[in-house]
Amino acid sequence: MSDISIIGAGSWGTALAVLLHKNGHNITVWSIMEPEIAMLQKEREHKDKLPGVKLPEDMIFTTDLETAVRNKDVLVLAVPSPYTRTTSHSMQPYVSEGQIIVNVAKGIEEKTLLTLSQIVEEEIPQAEVAVLSGPSHAEEVGRGIPTTIVVGAEKKATAEYLQNIFMNEVFRVYITPDVLGVELGAALKNVVALAAGIADGLGYGDNTKAALITRGIAEIARLGLAMGGRIETFSGLTGIGDLIVTCASMHSRNRRAGILIGKGYTMEQAMDEVKMVVEGVYSAKAAMGLAEKYGVQLPIIEQVNAVLFDGMPVDEAVKNLMLRDKKIENPLIPWEEG
């Protein structure tokens, strides 16, 4: 049994709190918002973000960050990506040397082009930072629907320790040392999911969705390899697996926002309608910054940026993708002469 705190009481943080409690651990959930904590204490259910999932009576809820952080075996950092740096900065004084922090949010910081675990390491240098990611909607994990996921950590012993903490009969956990690859797949698939949603909003079909998923993972892998990630990661759960589920499911806030944009909503209107942080919007500009830095072409992500931030009509963005210069699908496959 471990003492674990969930830092962030959104849908994903709450679902993981339920999972870890079922695994026999002592769970504390922190939120900066007093009304949210009061609601969780009274209702024992996150009625806004995870309705129908009951929270145990012995689960602790608090707005006191020091209480949540000090002397815990594991800290699960589950705040939305735009708040990763500020929350980590606030946590830093209370984190002990070697304390394990598992980041479960997905994104890239626009100004610095850092992944979220790199931000945590920068703000809390004394911590041991790992990541958890994969095709896993909170709505399904909270209900105990079978799910597979990946823990990334530099040390194998840390990855195995977290694997044992999270894994059960409905939540299968794999481990990998490719932390960078895991995080890039997790962040960039949200941008591609916006494109998939836009296509759905325009009324396009399965052919279009398959094209976006397939060429989307090619873009993610292209950038990931240039940055030092492993191709095996992008063909696995946190690459193609997470991309499929995020592009195809109505649980996906990125796909839902994209559908609204495809129907004519502005980015701001779509985000207001979804009522949750749409991570892909925050990662889209950062992805183009990384593409420029590493000299990599990301045509789908480039067109998503043009729609989100430059006012390009969505049908024109699709036309730009379809009429690009002729390409070979995989330049690594040689032609036989003759």
Each of the 338 residues of the chain gets a pLDDT tens digit; together they read: 899 999 999 999 999 999 999 999 999 999 999 999 999 999 998 988 888 889 999 999 999 999 999 999 999 999 998 999 999 999 999 999 999 999 999 999 989 999 999 999 999 999 999 999 999 999 999 999 999 999 999 999 999 999 999 999 999 999 999 999 999 999 999 999 999 999 999 999 999 999 999 999 999 999 999 999 999 999 999 999 999 999 998 888 889 999 999 998 888 888 888 877 788 888 899 999 999 999 999 999 999 999 999 888 888 888 888 877 778 888 878 888 75
In the numeric block, which tokens belong to residue 139? 């709505």
Name 108's bridge partners: 115
Nearest to 321 by CA among 338, 333, 304, 309: 304
Beta-strand ranges (E) seen in 167-316 are 171-176
Model's pTM, two decimal places?
Answer: 0.91
Q: What is the CATH number of domain 180-322?
A: 1.10.1040.10
pLDDT recorded at residue 338: 56
Name 171's bridge partners: 147, 168
What count of residues does the chain have? 338
Domain boundaries of the chain, sorted by first residue: 3-177, 180-322
Q: Helix or strand or coil: residue 128? A: strand
d(CA 291, CA 302): 9
Using the structure block, give the residue that is written with the tokens 């900066």. 32
The alpha carbon torsion through 211, 217, 218, 220 (nearest 10 deg) reads 140
205, with CB counted inside 10 A (0-12, 13-18, 19+), is exposed
d(CA 27, CA 157): 22
* CATH C-level class of 3-177: alpha beta
Our CA angle for 229, 87, 130, nearest 5°, is 30
pLDDT recorded at residue 238: 93
Contact 133, 183 (CB under 8 A): yes
d(CA 98, CA 161): 14
Residues marked active site are found at 189
pLDDT recorded at residue 234: 94
